[in-house]
Structures are given as C-alpha cells and as structure tokens.
Amino acid sequence: MKLSVGADLCRGHGRCYTLAPDLLEDDDEGYVTVRGQEIAVPADQVDLARNAAGSCPERAIALLEA
C-alpha cells in the first residue's frame, strides 16, 4: 500500500501526523512533510495510515493499493 498527500489540498490541520507519527511528520509550518508525494506504507502501519487518511477533513490523503 502507498499513501499519497495532495499538496494542493493539505491545509495543515495536523490530524494525520498526530495519528500516525511513525509514518508522517510535520514541517516548520505545520504541514505534513510528504505533500505531493507517494510513500510506501509498511505492513505494520496500514491501520495507522487508514486512520490518518480518514481523519483528514480536506481528504488530502489517498491510500493506493500497490
């Protein structure tokens, strides 16, 4: 599974990296650091990735089956 964050949709609410701190981090401005990128989700963090994606009020996070 991969996780993708839409750079144009992310507004820096911080819910995603709060729920999945081992997977996502914030930058100096409070935005998730992987905006505009796709990252591989380790098998042991799939549930955290789903929670993070579901928590985003902007729906900026997409989960892609690899």
Query: What pairs with residue 39 in β-bridges?
Result: 3
State residue 30's pLDDT score. Answer: 92
Four-point Cα dihedral 49, 19, 33, 12, nearest 10: 120
Residues lower than pLDDT 70 in the chain: none
pTM attached to this predicted model = 0.88
Structural domains of the chain sorted by starting position, each given as residue range(s) with its CATH number in brackets: 2-64 (3.30.70.20)
Q: Count Cβ atoms within 10 A of the Cβ of residue 43 and give its class: 0-12 exposed, 13-18 middle, 19 or more buried.
A: exposed
State residue 31's pLDDT score. Answer: 94
